Amino acid sequence: MTIAPPLTAPPPASPALDVSPLRGSTEKLSRLRKIIARRMSESLQNTAQLTTVVEIDVTKLAALRDEHKQAFVEREGVKLSFLPFFAKAAVEGLQVYPRVNSTLDLEAGTVTYPDAENLGIAVDTAQGLYVPVIADAGNRSVAEIARRVDELADRVRSGTAGPDDLAGGTFTLTNTGSRGALFDTPILNRPQSAILGTGAVVRRPMVARDASGDEVIAIRSMVYFALTYDHRIVDGADAARYLTWVKQRLEGAQFDI
């Protein structure tokens, strides 16, 4: 008996290249890009930066989001992404581990612990990177954070953000996962002592336990969180404790929506 070879799909056509008009050109740096370049260099030169990464199973959180996202957008007028959950867990963790939310003054020999968690959210715009601030984020709900993120992102992208929208941050979250990155090692936004990078949520096989406690291979929703911190004031153990707290908070998926 002759066995037919397996059917194979034709190779996909090569996608057309969308060649940038910048190729082969030279342009002047914008004022914003100069500021960003200077601040990033100063941050690396004046702090002892270290990054710690954890992997988080957000399968329960993904199910919670799917259950509520349609009603949420109808009620709040904005989409329910993972970001407001990530932000909520991050700022709650700062209340438990305030050293991650602190400001170091080495010359004065002091460390200041703010009485609020003012969360900077990195926003990618055509003009460059802006970091508008959600004031008192530690006392805001998931819905309030979602609305505020949407509002601030619209302001910076439309050029209507004011100085007050960009000032006073004590901790920053950068959601590089929104562009598909698994994780990165973000640079501190001085004088802050830490910045959290959240990666893309990816469905993949993982070792899990079934109802009987036996190990099985299951498809789970996974994400990496990378915390860069100033090692002059935040130790590796401090970072690990903070990230573990945030991990447990998100994996428990107990949020009011």
Residue 235 appears among annotated catalytic residues: yes
Q: Which residues contact 31 (CB under 8 A, 6 or more apart)?
A: none
Q: What angle do CA 17, 18, 21 make, to 5 degrees?
A: 130
Tell me the two tokens of residue 159.
Answer: 């050029």
Measure the CA–CA gap between 39 and 189, rounded to whole angstroms: 8
CA 41 → CA 135, 190, 218, 232, distances in Å?
27, 11, 43, 18
Determine which helix (DSSP H) or strand (DSSP E) holds 142, and give its type and residue range: helix 142-158
Nearest to 35 by CA among 230, 201, 217, 166: 166
Tell me the two tokens of residue 233.
Answer: 């004031």
CA 176 → CA 7, 24, 243, distances in Å?
39, 28, 17
Q: Which is it for the CA torsion 248, 143, 227, 136, positive or negative?
A: negative
* Active-site entry in 68, 124, 184, 231: 231
**DSSP E strand boundaries for 133-201:** 133-134, 171-174, 194-198
* Active-site entry in 154, 235, 238, 256: 235
Measure the CA–CA gap between 42 and 50, rounded to whole angstroms: 16
By annotation, the residues acting in catalysis are 231, 235
